Amino acid sequence: MGSEKINTMKRRLVSGAAMAGVAVVAGLALTAGSAQAETTDVGVMAGTCASGYVCGWEDDGYGGDKWMTWNPSGVGDTYEIDGWDGDNEITSVINNSGHGIKFYDQDGQAGSTLCVGDGVRINNLQTYAWNDRAESAKAVSSC
C-alpha cells in the first residue's frame, strides 16, 4: 500500500515535470521564431526582406507570392514589375533598400505614384488606395 501511494506521487511529479517542460519548450520556440524573423537576410521567406532590397507580396501581411525582390543600384535606378507575375497584384511591401521607392501604377514609370520611404513597411497598400496597382518603380533620394 505504501509503495502504491509513492508510485502515484511519482506519476504526479512526472506529469507535472512534463507539463513544465512543454511550457519551457514553447517559450524557447517563440524566442527562436522571433530571432529568426529579425535576422533572416535571405529575402526569400514570406514577411522578410533583406537589407538593400525592396520586396512586394501579392497578399496583405507580406503573404502569398513574393512578386518583387529588387536591389536598386542607386537613385534613379528603375524596376519593371513583371506583367504576368506582379503587375496589379502587389498588396504589401517592405522597403529596406536605403532609398525612397516610388511606385507607378503603369509600366515604364508612368501614371500615378506612391512613394514609400526607406525603412517603411506597408502591411496593406489598401490603406493608401494602392492595393493591386503597382506596375513599375524607381529609386529616389527621398519621398
**Looking at 12-20, 25-33, 34-42, 82-90, which segment touches Ca ion (CB under 5 A)?**
82-90
Minimum distance from residue 100 beta carbon to Ca ion (Å): 19
Minimum distance from residue 61 beta carbon to Ca ion (Å): 11
CA angle 102, 48, 82 (to 5 degrees): 50
- In three-state secondary structure terms, 58 is strand
Say if residues 43 and 55 touch (Cβ distance below 8 Å).
yes
CA distance 113 to 94: 16
**Looking at 14-22, 27-35, 77-85, 113-121, which segment touches Ca ion (CB under 5 A)?**
77-85
What are the residue ranges of helices labelled H in the chain?
A: 2-39
Given 46, 58, 105, 121, the residue binding Ca ion (CB under 5 A) = 58
Burial of 12-22, coded b for 16+ CB within 10 Å and e otherwise, reads eeeeeeeeeee
**Looking at 9-17, 22-30, 114-122, 124-132, which segment touches Ca ion (CB under 5 A)?**
124-132
> Residue 107 interacts with Ca ion (CB under 5 A)?
yes
Closest CA to 52 of 96, 93, 11: 96
Say if residues 100 and 115 touch (Cβ distance below 8 Å).
yes
One character per residue 30-49, x = contact with Ca ion (rule: CB under 5 A): --------------------
**Minimal CB distance residue for Ca ion:** 91
Residues that bind Ca ion (CB under 5 A): 58, 80-81, 87, 89, 91, 107, 132, 135-136
